[in-house]
Amino acid sequence: MQKKLFTELELSPEILKAVAKMGFEEASPIQSESIPPLMAGGDLVGQSMTGSGKTAAFAIPAIEQVDPSLAETQVLILCPTRELAVQVAEETSKLAAFKKGVRELPIYGGASYERQFRGLKKGAHIVIGTPGRILDHLEKGTLQLQNLKTIIMDEADRMLDMGFLDDIKTILSQTPESRQTVLFSATVPRPIAGLIKSFTNDPTWIKIESPSITVPAIDQVWYEVHGRTKVEVLCRLIDLEDIRFAIIFCATKIMVDDLVEHLIARGYMADKLHGDMSQMMRERVMDRFRRRSIEFLVATDVAARGLDVKDIEVVFNYDLPNDGEDYVHRIGRTGRAGSKGKAITFVSGREVYKLQNIIRFTKGKIRRERVPSLEQVEERRTNIFFDTLRSTLEGGSYKRYDNHTDRLLDQGYSPTDIISALMHLREQENPKSSGEDIPIIEKSRFNPDDQPRRKAPPWKKGGGKRPFNKKGSSHRKGGHPGDFPKKKKKKG
């Protein structure tokens, strides 16, 4: 399936500006196929794996149809967990950054009701939440859906597994019949098929098959780094592993330009490849890279499309790719023709959730490593220097410099002093590491290997039922089935 550029999807200038700022140039297959029918206002069912870029696929059309002059909820997005609700809300906020007056609000259990009340009272146009907490607000009358334009169910199969099917049906029954209904799910089991039949009107079906993922020869690792220390960590890893030929992927053209300047300033042979360069310039850079006149090619995804170069040692994901498919395409440029390859990914803060989606998409393992210390890097560089020195001593090609060495010895300098001074000069002439102190993150708050809970609610086998107190109100907390109280057994 052919990808499209976002500029080909007839989007508003505000959305295109936001997309460019986020580093997106090319829409993923699910985005290319879903955005046009959603913009036309039709119902849609999308089957796509997590990590395929589906959030932007439904969020962009949703934002485009919001009327900021109306202080009412116009779009409702249902998510199975509070973590996913936060993630979707953050991406929606970025996509709506240049849409004046558009307000989005995440609603989920464990967060302040008062803050959610205030946000709803102001007229949140796009509400993103878990089924439990959404129902709570509907019952309290703090969330009104009579003028809702679109309802979106993200990861519907996971919501089914967590026992939210009845809640979803209740929510759908309180929305206008004229609404647009959108459902995304990796699988379509029978209950989800029934939901689609009952609550959608002649939906467009889109199914994106996962690409063949065969990367057994690629060693995949990730490092959690603070954004401001990325350059230093990159240089340390290059020096520690003695990398001589690699591609470094960045999210934006500006980041590519900036990183190339940093690398050149530190003594690395680097050049860039991005969309603002002419075809002649790109070909010249690629020719130099193939001839290894360049050690490190820093590029955006679109500019590197179709790039085929042999023996690339490492692919760096300096910035995380937009989706799992882009990740597979990036790292597939190393480890070719049976040779070993390596993929190194940098992750900052909440991006670990994005990495989790990529891991689910690839069904592979990405190992976490600690950022090497400056001492480790210096020891490694010294060992490499000594290996080179031993080879030179064994080869004998240094003999023509014996007279110069004798002059220094005659002046009273010891052999130890001469060698130490030469090593010092070597470091000064090629100061690739800044010596910057990097805070070591001993243990991440986030674990990309964590899997969402897929258990039925504890009060009923199979799920779907919720306990009520004597007054008939729900004890719902939202987002996590384990949050609900269990019924007490009667004594006697």
> Is 155 inside a domain boundary?
yes
> Is 154 inside a domain boundary?
yes
Both 224 and 300 in one domain: the answer is yes
> Is 463 inside a domain boundary?
no
Asked whether the beta carbons of 129 and 107 are under 8 A apart, the reply is yes
> Is 281 inside a domain boundary?
yes
Binning pLDDT at 50, 70 and 90, where does residue 460 land? Answer: very low
The per-residue DSSP string of 322-369 comes to SSHHHHHHHHTTSS-TT--EEEEEEE-TTHHHHHHHHHHHHT---EE-
Asked whether the beta carbons of 288 and 18 are under 8 A apart, the reply is no
Asked whether the beta carbons of 302 and 283 are under 8 A apart, the reply is no
Domain harbouring 310, CATH code: 3.40.50.300
Both 40 and 99 in one domain: the answer is yes
Q: Is 165 helix (H, G, I), strand (E, B) or coil?
A: helix
Q: Is 44 helix (H, G, I), strand (E, B) or coil?
A: strand
Average of per-residue pLDDT across 210-223: 74
Both 185 and 263 in one domain: the answer is no
> pTM (2 decimals)?
0.59
Nearest CA among 83, 48, 93, 94 for reference residue 323: 48
Instruction: Measure the N-to-C terminal CA separation of the chain; round to a whole number of Å.
Output: 66
Both 183 and 247 in one domain: the answer is no
pLDDT digits (tens, 9 = 90+) for 347-400: 988 888 889 888 888 878 899 998 888 787 777 777 777 777 787 777 777 777
Report the alpha-carbon distance of residue 116 to residue 36 in Å, rounded: 32
Phi-psi region of 472 (alpha: psi -120 to 50; beta: other; left: phi over 0): left
> Is 58 inside a domain boundary?
yes
Instruction: Quote the percentage of the chain above a pLDDT of 90.
Output: 46
> Is 39 inside a domain boundary?
yes
The per-residue DSSP string of 96-115 comes to TTTSTT--EEEE-TTS-HHH
pLDDT digits (tens, 9 = 90+) for 93-113: 999 999 999 999 999 887 888
> Is 440 inside a domain boundary?
no
Q: Where are the alpha helices (DSSP H) in 96-188?
A: 113-122, 131-140, 156-161, 165-173
Which of 183, 207, 231 is the endpoint of a domain?
207
Nearest CA among 187, 158, 169 for reference residue 48: 187
Q: How many C-beta atoms lie closer than 10 Å to residue 69's C-beta?
A: 6
Both 203 and 229 in one domain: the answer is no
**Number of structural domains found in the chain:** 2
pLDDT digits (tens, 9 = 90+) for 6-25: 999 999 999 999 999 888 88
Query: To 10 degrees, what angle do helices 253-265 and 230-240 make?
Result: 50
User: Structural domain of residue 202, as residue ranges?
Assistant: 6-207
Both 224 and 196 in one domain: the answer is no
Both 234 and 135 in one domain: the answer is no
Residues 6 or more apart whose CB falls under 8 angstroms from that of 58 comprise 34, 38, 46, 77, 152, 154, 182, 184
> Is 298 inside a domain boundary?
yes
Structure-token pair, residue 207: 């199914």
Q: Which residue has the tokens 């401001």?
A: 228
Facing residues of 128 across strands?
77, 106
User: How confident is the model at residue 344, as a pLDDT?
Assistant: 97
Which of 332, 358, 374 is the endpoint of a domain?
374
More confident residue, 271 or 409: 271
Both 171 and 260 in one domain: the answer is no
Give the C-alpha distances (Å, rounded to integers) separating 408 from 194, 280, 403, 428, 429. 89, 51, 9, 21, 21
* Percent helix / strand / coil, the chain, rounded to 5: 40, 15, 45
User: How confident is the model at residue 436, as a pLDDT?
Assistant: 58
pLDDT digits (tens, 9 = 90+) for 399-457: 777 788 888 888 888 888 888 887 777 666 555 555 555 555 545 545 555 544 444 44
Both 198 and 232 in one domain: the answer is no
Both 50 and 154 in one domain: the answer is yes
Both 148 and 281 in one domain: the answer is no
Both 181 and 64 in one domain: the answer is yes
Which of 207, 242, 268 is the endpoint of a domain?
207
